[in-house]
Homo-oligomer: A and B are copies of this chain.
Amino acid sequence: MNTIGQLLRITSFGESHGPFVGCVIDGYPAGLTVDVNSMQHQVNRRRTGQQSFASGRNEPDVIKIVSGIFEGKTTGAPICILLDNQDARPSDYDALKDVYRPGHADFTYEAKYGIRDHRGGGRSSIRITAPLVAAGELALQILKKEIPIKVKAYVSQIGQVSLTSAYQTLDLENIDTNDVRCPDGPTAAQMQNEIQAAHTAGDTLGGCITCVIQALPPGIGSPVFEKLQAALAHAMLSINTVKGFEYGSGFLSAGMKGSEHNDAYRMSKNGIQTKTNHDGGIQGGISNGMDIYFKVAFKPISSISLPQTTINHSGVETVLNIEGRHDACAVPRAVPIVEAYTNIVLADLYLQHKYSKI
């Protein structure tokens, strides 16, 4: 299963060191003028930010749209997006081909498939998200055609440094003003120090990303197995290194009383709203028109510079030393991935909603 979505179906393919990574987007409506620059911009955002990914690899990441667009407009045919793997250096990975790296998927892929493309993580590489980030931006363009939606993700925790302010107090236009993609300047500086210290120590850090969806109309999502929060959780837990998801008051709601937590409805000049928003804009699996917000936890990436004891695939204990430049924290670069996957979920559920009444 390498496909996400019901009406807007996106199928991922490619490995870290094959000729291309790519995806096919099926079910995209015809007649929409595509903004390819925005797609490329998001792909660029994924590539940049605080330090590069583990490999120190340098890819221009120029998207090629192979199909489904004619004279700048979508035709209703499937849209295939490709990105070259130009800087693939498969031989760099020869030393790792028999070792089960701690925290990585080396052992589990072998257990499942009996075979593993060890070069740069193969299919488990975060590189496969590059075309999906382009697809996410394309998905957003469906929504933007019809509603003034905003989807903004930012880094709210790196290691021990947390941004505790509510998203409403932050200026979400500031997210890309610093390398850690944290909209609060002083916290961003602390996060950068934290990452620098980890880097110096040869270690890595995890963190959290908060995502806010604004101006989604009521009615998106559905009651049972296509609940909006379930689709979001599924998408977020599909991102490598994600360990947790909560929306609205999340885990804190477990300690609240019903009388505290219930969001009372009221009339406002913008129509029906709730006084509080502990439910994070979703009730019964369906959006209620309030802001949707959720938080995603990322573990530290597993490729550290410090020596680690593990075993190889013959079961022999071995000490692993990963050489070369390493990446101390991947969370800032996951921001456009979180946004892209959110956009994919929202566009799919939005299209589903279109035929829910007659």
The answer to whether A77 and B15 touch (CB under 8 A), given A206-B254, A300-B257, is: yes
Residues of B contacting A288 in the complex (Cβ-Cβ under 8 angstroms): 107-108, 111
- Asked whether A206 lies within 8 Å of B300 as measured between CB atoms, the reply is no
A5 shortest CB reach to chain B, Å = 9
User: Which of A45-53, A122-130, A171-179, A184-192 participates in binding chain B?
Assistant: A122-130
Answer yes or no: A40 CB below 8 A from chain B CBs. no
Number of interface residues of A (CB under 8 A): 151
* Chain copies in complex: 4
- Asked whether B11 lies within 8 Å of A78 as measured between CB atoms, the reply is yes
Answer yes or no: A26 CB below 8 A from chain B CBs. yes
Q: Which of A263-293 contact B (CB under 8 A)?
A: 263-267, 272, 274, 278-280, 282-289
Flag A18-33 by CB within 8 Å of B: 1 or 0 each. 1111101011011110
Distance A79 CA – B157 CA, assembled complex (angstroms): 37
Distance A278 CA – B255 CA, assembled complex (angstroms): 25
Residues of B contacting A354 in the complex (Cβ-Cβ under 8 angstroms): 354-355
A124 shortest CB reach to chain B, Å = 5
- Asked whether B116 lies within 8 Å of A75 as measured between CB atoms, the reply is yes
Partner of A26, one of B1, B231, B262: B1
- Asked whether A104 lies within 8 Å of B284 as measured between CB atoms, the reply is yes
10 more A-B residue pairs beyond the given contacts A2-B225, A243-B280, with a C-beta to C-beta distance below 8 A = A2-B24, A2-B224, A3-B9, A13-B79, A15-B75, A27-B355, A70-B117, A76-B113, A230-B233, A251-B251
